[in-house]
Amino acid sequence: MKPSSDEHIDVLGLGCATVDDFLQVESFPPANWKTPVERTHRQCGGLTGNALIAAARLGARCAYAGCLGTDELSNHVAQVFTREGVDISRAPRLPEARVIHSTIVIGRDTGSRNIFYEVKGVVGAHPSLPADEVIRGARVLFIDHYGMPGNLRALKKARLFGIPVVADLESEAVPHFAQVLAGVDHLILSEEFACQLTREKSAASAAGALWRAERAVVIVTCGHDGCWSVAKESGEKPRHHEAFPVRAANTSGCGDVFHGAYAFRLACGDSLDERIRFASAAGAVKAGQSEIPRLRAVEFLLRKHSRHPTPPARLTAK
């Protein structure tokens, strides 16, 4: 169903979506080895896909406006998005478009994973869509590094309209990377990529190197070691945020969930500390289970570890 023009979007995503086929084994095997598969399951994922599903499960009104194909895997993504409450009415359906297909092998003993992925056809943001009014009507724009001409166009529009942009970037070997990197105001990168990008040896140093006065915040995530942020309100100095202690069962998608939860709380108007704490809790809950968490589980973890729980979401009419 096409949404009416007065319906706002909390988080508008333009990047990649994937179909992820998970294989769980007792322990990841060495080369030239055979090992039995304990469990298999399929889910929709991707940098933007997982972030949108996470935000939707936590209470945000989300829309996906990246490209989808007409093939079986694209149809699967469309069905999952619809079931999860992510609107796809603005996503162009193109015969040449595809979603990424990944096979993810998880070692049950450590919860670590290895990802094998295949990229074919047009993936991610469309070069000239969505329309300006769609971007203007969103509280937060979410992009990644797939479909960079379209991401750059949308980023420029969002900044012009005063819409904050959250980005999850994992590769600099794409067109317009430097321009997109410079234009993002809520930059959240993994420690590995941030250090690779800046040639720094620590997450704190990388966060500092990525900071610029035009940004709202730089966050470098470090898994069970928490994350580092640099922002104006913290004196433009790197600041550490502890992770929530959980037993890892499946770390796949933890960073995506962090991004989606952060975007959701940004749309709510939360402070930086509230955003990071909530996103950290959401990522921690995800690490302890295979599924993207729902709001109740995240709030439970926050209450368990704090005398001052994160306040409830306060989305208001735009």
Asked whether residue 13 is assigned to any structural domain, the reply reads: yes
Q: CA–CA separation, 202 vs 222, rounded Å?
A: 10
- Pick from 102, 101, 103, 107: which is nearest to 36 by CA? 107
E strands in 148-295 = 165-168, 186-190, 217-221, 227-231, 239-241
- Pick from 308, 241, 232, 246: which is nearest to 279 by CA? 241
- Pick from 123, 8, 59: which is nearest to 260 by CA? 59
75: Cα within 13 Å, side-chain hemisphere? 4
Asked whether residue 70 is assigned to any structural domain, the reply reads: yes
Q: What is the pLDDT of residues 175-193, one digit of tens each?
A: 999 999 999 999 999 999 9
Asked whether residue 59 is assigned to any structural domain, the reply reads: yes
User: Largest Cα–Cα distance of the chain, in whole Å?
Assistant: 58
Structural domain tally of the chain? 1
Q: What is the pLDDT of residues 114-149, one digit of tens each?
A: 999 999 999 999 999 999 999 999 999 999 999 999
Q: CA–CA separation, 68 vs 16, rounded Å?
A: 9
pTM for the predicted model, two decimal places: 0.90
More confident residue, 245 or 197: 197
Asked whether residue 79 is assigned to any structural domain, the reply reads: yes
Contact 86, 62 (CB under 8 A): yes
Asked whether residue 235 is assigned to any structural domain, the reply reads: no
* Residue-range definition of the domain harbouring residue 129: 9-27+37-184+244-304
CB atoms within 10 A of CB 64: 29
Average pLDDT over residues 275-288: 96
Asked whether residue 228 is assigned to any structural domain, the reply reads: no
Q: Which amino acid is at 204?
A: A
Asked whether residue 2 is assigned to any structural domain, the reply reads: no
CA distances from 310 to 148, 230, 244, 282 (A): 35, 21, 14, 12
Here the CATH number for the domain that contains residue 161 is: 3.40.1190.20
CB atoms within 10 A of CB 265: 28
Least confident residue range of 42-56, 141-155, 243-257: 243-257
Asked whether residue 73 is assigned to any structural domain, the reply reads: yes
Q: Please determine, for residue 212, whether its predicted confidence score (pLDDT) is greater than 50.
A: yes
Q: State percent of the chain over pLDDT 90.
A: 85
